[in-house]
A and B are shown apart, each in its own frame.
Chain A
Amino acid sequence: MHEYSIVASLIDRVQQEADAHGAARVHRLHVKIGELSGVELDLLKTAFDTFRERTICDGAELAIDTVAASWACPTCKRPVVRGAILRCDTCGRPARMVEGDEIILERIEMEAPNV
């Protein structure tokens, strides 16, 4: 259940931004979570709903963008289909993940008087 520790880090980060911008309320957080990031979306939502109470994120919505995993050859950039052997058919090089392991705070919508 590392989702709880992720949410704790997330709320800390939001608090820092809120302080920096003089915001008293946060309306929505946009996060980007990759399919192979190891973060379970349901657990993340539950953890957020539990931990946001009495923090700067109380009442805030968590908007999650998901990113599908994709792989490609680092040399010839040819995509390697997920589920296939992670090696380039042409070059024989091990494939590299292009995207899909993101755990990113993208944007915070907050009530900020002095931006």
Chain B
Amino acid sequence: MCETCGCGDPEIVPIEVQERILSDNDAQAAHNRSHFKGLGLLAINLMGSPGAGKTAVLEATAKAAGARLKLGAVSGDLATERDADRLNASGIVSATITTGSACHLDARLVHRALHDFPTSDRDIFFIENVGNLVCPAIYDLGQAANVVALSVTEGEDKPLKYPVMFQKADLVLLTKIDLIPHLDFDVAAVEDGLSRVMPGANLLKVSAKTGEGIDAWLQWLEQRRPAPIERPAEAHEHHHHEHPHEHH
């Protein structure tokens, strides 16, 4: 019955849903997570502002890891393939996810990139998100951990200004620390801000330029790697899973 006057119009009924609006993305992310688990690799969602030094950190990571670790990456980029080109040159097998005008990666984009990726034989797989301190935080991609790169040129107040991003971080990389002598940058202020928005605040200071702190970052990654899995002799490029979807 019409809710105001009882005039006999069609009934207005409340339908209870109580579901996350991004439940489709959540389901796709869970599916990606099962891919990563099946491949025995550690997946890292690397986020941060444009110019925070995400790509440079990965280049330095490749240099420090040398032949010890097989690294892979997909980079979200609005318009170019520059990041993937740089990463490939540094020895990280990389592909670009061109997002057009989209300001973040979602689980579906990452899934498609996984299926098109040239190899599944990797130890650590970085998902370099679109440079942005807001939107990427909302979308689960199936990663094991969120890492946020924050450069010393961005200012100490970023954690307090962007609490959603830092709250979701498992680790914050303070990048470009080689520049600190040239700046009025207060590391203690960043640490204090971070402790108010990020539970169990965890900050590592790194410089991709000098290599300072990169070993500690590698150690952090190594500690999170899953136990090695038994690979069948006839290892298959696409690992089997139950959920139906298109293979390209």
Contacts and interface: CB of A to CB of B under 8 A. Distances in A.
Interface in A69-115: 71, 83-87, 94-97, 101, 103-113, 115
A108 B14 contact: yes
B107 to A, nearest CB: 12
B196 A85 contact: yes
B215 to A, nearest CB: 25
B152 interface: no
A23 to B, nearest CB: 8
B20 interface: yes
B24 A9 contact: yes
A38 B164 contact: yes
Nearest to B104: A2
A108 B17 contact: yes
Contact of B21 (A1, A85, A105, A115): A105
A31 interface: yes
A108 B15 CA distance: 5
B235 interface: no
B188 interface: no
B98 interface: no
Contacts of B24: 9, 12
A86 B197 contact: yes
Nearest to A7: B21
A106 B17 contact: yes
B197 A1 contact: no
A13 B24 CA distance: 9
A67 interface: no
B104 A106 contact: no
Interface residues of A, number: 40
Contacts of A83: 196
A46 interface: no
B199 A112 contact: no
Contact of A113 (B11, B17, B135, B164): B11
B21 A38 contact: no
A38 B103 CA distance: 13
Contacts of A87: 195, 199-200
Contact of B14 (A25, A37, A107): A107
Interface of B: 9-25, 102-104, 106, 134-135, 137-139, 163-165, 167, 195-201
Given A21-B15, A97-B167, A109-B15, 9 more contacts: A2-B138, A84-B196, A85-B196, A86-B195, A86-B197, A86-B199, A86-B200, A104-B20, A111-B11
Interface of A: 1-2, 5-6, 9-10, 12-13, 17, 21, 25, 27, 31, 36-39, 71, 83-87, 94-97, 101, 103-113, 115
29 contacts: A2-B139, A9-B21, A9-B24, A10-B21, A13-B17, A31-B21, A37-B138, A37-B164, A38-B138, A39-B138, A86-B199, A87-B195, A87-B200, A97-B199, A103-B21, A103-B22, A105-B17, A106-B17, A106-B18, A107-B18, A109-B14, A110-B13, A111-B11, A111-B13, A112-B11, A112-B13, A113-B10, A113-B11, A115-B15
